Structure 1
């Protein structure tokens, strides 16, 4: 009975991995079928009043770079309102005050808005700023982004219809080659922005505002209920509420807004935790409402896939843990031989993920040879990092399901600064005991795979072993370097 229970549980969770992969394949096909579609644009004959919101919290290393890029926008100063939504509790506020004073002297309308507390975190700051905003459109930039000089001029024409409520641009990367960690993030983010966002937008499905480097119609935000702070992904939450109200979104992959990728494991973990837990919270909040809307079935299915995609980390962790007793069962008993013809499914899952990432890289690099070199070097590390993050991200999923409230933890940014990061405390290696135990677990599993000469399971277990080993190495290296 125990053996049958393990098989049933494994099959149940592996089914969802296959389902998620098929969803990825459907998005890839949608992207390829619609990639030549062109977004309609209007001629920008007049300059509407724009409010630019800059939510800031302890960003002393990058705030000058951000404000410099905003001041260099090719847009009439009398049609531009800048809000620095500053929740900082360090010397960032003094730096902001100094820079905003200089910009006012140059003729900019710029407000340095301080709140008494961080109620609602980023969502609270944006909503507070919205009540004071005079612009017809609201552009939002996080602290680590750089607004290109023609950002507004290039983006506003995509509001080609009164029901278009938001236009999102593609994220670029300032430091993708800084480390293996940043390379893994680059391939994941590029896949999202090149395949996911473009495929959904051109296929007529829901897309999401990515929290930054986009422009909202102010009336859209207000009609959808404004920014709400009951999830950690206020951007995804508002996006779905707006689209369920009938608003349409545009996505512009040709407009690239560069940003800094976090180069520390602690920063990546806090960022991933926020994104994943917030995604789970948003799925709990909006899934039923999505299915109650009068929308095409395909829109509901693709929308559900996006709301639920963060659960994949839990399915990966659970199936990997169950695969070890499953391997022993396979090699000690012939009773379930038919079941173990599962390797084809595993190969299909890996192949879909490979094609998905390769297509994104090819679209980015343009040349096949460059894409092949990149996929060979970057795809394995992206898989390894995903495996290594599976435990930490599963904890985020569980806290999201439980409704446990957690703070909005900022992602440290450094720009070119070599100063010590005093915002981020040294990582206690004790935090990584679960990853260490999982490393030992899959090390023993790999030895067992060699003993049984079961190379199918061995590859799976080596990936998990490498993932947790990479996380432990980064944690040790980061602590040693601080």
Structure 2
């Protein structure tokens, strides 16, 4: 026998729903719409959770809004590269060319990668007698000696002045290695590259031209390339090619914080000496950027693009992103006061500098929001308070122009519509998958200044990395997160919380698909 609702009952329910919606909109539900009575303990948990949620959503809203602006600027550039206002290296005259010392830290690099680096430097249209190349190695002595024997015939053939120096005290991370190389460098101009950096032939000439034009240090937008093709490598190339037009070019052209990329830095030696060289930390490029601007030095963006090798495996990608996350938090702990109190930076540079430091820790927001949703569902929150719901909707709405701008940029840098959409979706999925370990690393980075610096495998060393790393061990955080979510989903099913069960199930499905993405097949 089926029950049929009467007209009066229908009207009563309709009126009740209308009143609830009206009261909710008028913010008369300070704890949100709750399905069960709140205890003092649950109220305390809700208070802390809501404070965290509001802070997270507010920061996310600011970051997305800023990126919308930078992406629009990056889009205008990619549509018309001849509009080069605020870029440097386009026609200023210079005096007698200076000697340039190129510093390249290396560790566990194979001979093929060193060879490619030397060939690229030899292709620069800068007088070879005014270039010295210094590789700084933390490798064992026998390996460094074998590299020296390998490059000597090539160096003579290319006509380059090259030295490979070995550090016995390999402390101080990348900054310590660069300072060691500085002790042996004799050039008035110091250039810092990664061993996998591929430079256009006019890069060094443009950089020196910009220094004589009034800039104290210059850098350039960097994009990706790969020597081994697989799904992770292709995805990372897309992300670097497209997103750096926003994060780097858009930021520079938009008057934001001029963050230096240590894979392509050219700076006057006297300027570098005035800030006591590089910090003995992994985030030496961001540390240098803050100190240069705090002292009023000008940092410029070259109208040029360099290319760097992308990670080939998910574990390498995770290490790279975790290192960048640690760099941001380290600088926030040690240099935020310097940035905010600096008279050499604009108010916007101060704000944007903080946003730059928080960009990689913010990846953990996806995991944090999932955990918050689980907590709220356990307490019985059906709909959060109006201010939180408003921030959530605003975040979603403001993300649309950012997505459209990024997809448009991808078109102008050479990707078709299907590849753009496919890669954009995959990158979002990977970020959700990555957000759980990033949340753990964020907490860890706040508690310690010690971090294991692991260089991203390059060239054929990728093959060794596959066999060396136990994939299960590298995925411990992600597998643990999936297991916990599955257990929570089972509990929710038992308690008949259908909506939250569907939400958690969708997250588990996303992460399971993410597992497919992170086991690439080589082509």
Q: Normalising TM by the smaller chain, what interval?
A: 0.7 to 0.9
User: Offset at 1:367?
Assistant: 8.2
Alignment of 1:247 with 2:297, yes or no, is yes
Deviates most, 205-214 or 189-198 = 189-198
Partners of 2:241 and 2:413 within 8 A in 1: no
User: Offset at 1:280?
Assistant: 0.8
How far apart in 2 are the matches of 1:154 and 1:466? 49
Q: Which residue of 2 aligns with 1:18?
A: 58
Alignment of 1:353-372 (within 5 A): 353=399, 355-366=401-412, 372=417
Partners of 1:52 and 1:139 within 8 A in 2: yes
User: Offset at 1:212?
Assistant: 0.6
Q: 1:102 to 1:239 in 2, by over 3 A?
A: same
How far apart in 1 are the matches of 2:99 and 2:509? 52
Q: Which residue of 2 aligns with 1:323?
A: 373
Q: 1:321 to 1:95 in 2, by over 3 A?
A: same
How far apart in 2 are the matches of 1:314 and 1:209? 24
3-state SS in 1 of match to 2:183: helix
Out of 153, 156, 175, the residue aligned to residue 205 of structure 2 is: 153
Alignment of 1:382 with 2:427, yes or no, is yes
Out of 417, 436, 442, the residue aligned to residue 479 of structure 2 is: 436
Map Cα deviations across residues 277-307 of structure 1 (whole Å, 9 max, x no partner). Answer: 1221111000111111124322211111112
User: Offset at 1:320?
Assistant: 1.3
Q: Which residue of 2 aligns with 1:185?
A: 236
Partners of 2:200 and 2:306 within 8 A in 1: yes
- TM score, norm. by length of structure 2: 0.79
Gaps of 5+ in 1: none
How far apart in 1 are the matches of 2:282 and 2:298? 23
Map Cα deviations across residues 81-105 of structure 1 (whole Å, 9 max, x no partner). Answer: 1111122237465134321443135
Out of 427, 437, 446, the residue aligned to residue 470 of structure 2 is: 427
3-state SS in 2 of match to 1:312: helix
Out of 255, 261, 269, the residue aligned to residue 218 of structure 1 is: 269
Q: Which residue of 2 aligns with 1:113?
A: 165
Alignment of 1:95-134 (within 5 A): 95-104=147-156, 106-134=158-186
Q: 1:367 to 1:134 in 2, by over 3 A?
A: closer
Partners of 2:260 and 2:286 within 8 A in 1: yes
Partners of 1:87 and 1:118 within 8 A in 2: yes
Q: Which residue of 1 aligns with 2:195?
A: 143
Map Cα deviations across residues 439-477 of structure 1 (whole Å, 9 max, x no partner). Answer: 13334556758965538x845x456424543565567x4
Q: 1:93 to 1:58 in 2, by over 3 A?
A: farther
Tell me how large the CA RMSD over aligned residues is: 3.3
Partners of 2:95 and 2:212 within 8 A in 1: no
Partners of 1:97 and 1:112 within 8 A in 2: no
User: Offset at 1:2?
Assistant: 3.9
User: Offset at 1:126?
Assistant: 0.7
3-state SS in 2 of match to 1:132: coil
3-state SS in 1 of match to 2:98: coil
How far apart in 2 are the matches of 1:329 and 1:261? 44
- Matched positions, count: 467
- TM score, norm. by length of structure 1: 0.85
Q: Which residue of 1 aligns with 2:14?
A: none
Q: 1:466 to 1:404 in 2, by over 3 A?
A: farther
Q: Which residue of 2 aligns with 1:405?
A: 450
Gaps of 5+ in 2: 1-39, 77-82
Out of 118, 128, 133, the residue aligned to residue 67 of structure 1 is: 118
Out of 256, 264, 268, the residue aligned to residue 317 of structure 2 is: 268
Partners of 1:55 and 1:126 within 8 A in 2: yes
Q: 1:419 to 1:250 in 2, by over 3 A?
A: closer
